[in-house]
Amino acid sequence: MANLTLLQAVNDGLKIAMREDPSVLVFGEDVGPKGGVFLATEGLTAEFGEERCFDTPLSEDGIIGAAIGMAMNGLRPVAEIQFQDFIFPAFDQIVSEAAKLRYRSGGQYTAPMVIRTPYGGGIRGGLYHSQSGEAYFCHTPGLKVVIPSTPHDAKGLLIASIQDPDPVLFLEPKALYRSVKGEVPEGSYSVELSTMRTAREGDDVTVFCYGAMVPVCEQAAESAAASGISVEVIDLRTLYPLDEEGVLAAARKTGRVVNVHEAPRFCGYGAELSAIIAEHAIEHMEAPIMRVTGFDTPFPNTLEHNYLPDHRRVLDAIERVHAF
């Protein structure tokens, strides 16, 4: 076992996948010799050469369009979008082409490709380097959306995503890149997509979260325990396709649910979770389902600490549903 940061685990996962399968290519803006703005691809060009890890022009739609063509012709591209905020020029390529390829071709073609991109706040990047756009893509059938929160899962989920026969959007919480460390197995392993992880066992309240909100919710659960409230923290890991049965079982277990994400509240991912639970487990609910989210504003710079949910806001929601 190696003790790695989440960023190092991503780098290790890319190296393992490229060593195991010569059809895996990595490309994007500054990912080559420089190793990317966060150094997630550091050392890949040196080991695999510029034919397998290379820089591209500053053209997100070109990056994704090229990846689709490669995937249709036997390669397994891993395309990096430097920041998730920059992905929108490629939105049509992702939603209208990559995600629909299997369906529109009657299964003759698919797009086994991964789109890696750092997302979310926590680095004071301001409104153009801090957005959380996962809900846009979870609305798209044919596209898988994956978000790790631990180094172990980052490597295992990334390898599983590269091996998957369909396009996967792999969102990396940049606030956790270097702030969390954990034991990561050496060599190749995978974490099955569409499976959630119980980050903390509990009996009184269930908190659903993902990405950078997982450690925030774990801290809130620790504070709640001091008041005698037992909180179960569920790390969703794959947002789409969701492990709905796992979600419903966790919600029924406690009858009290808090959904947490840093994206804006309106039509955010927590709303879909709330709807699923309300439709299929309402008879088990002992309190209204609560959401703790970012605000319905552009992402602020100097007020980032106010915008992002913290353990105090999550703890307040936990206490309110517990006392209902």
Query: What CA–CA distance (Å, rounded) separates 247 from 265?
Result: 20
Contact of 27 with 63, CB cutoff 8 Å: yes
Whether the CB-CB separation of 230 and 203 falls below 8 Å is answered with: yes
Is the peptide bond prior to 288 cis by the omega test (within 30 degrees of 0)?
no
- Beta strands (DSSP E) in the chain are 2-5, 24-28, 53-55, 76-80, 114-119, 144-146, 168-173, 181-184, 197-200, 205-209, 231-235, 238-240, 257-264, 290-294
DSSP, collapsed to helix, strand or coil, labels residue 79 as: strand
Instruction: Look at the chain and count its residues.
Output: 324
Catalytic (active-site) positions: 129
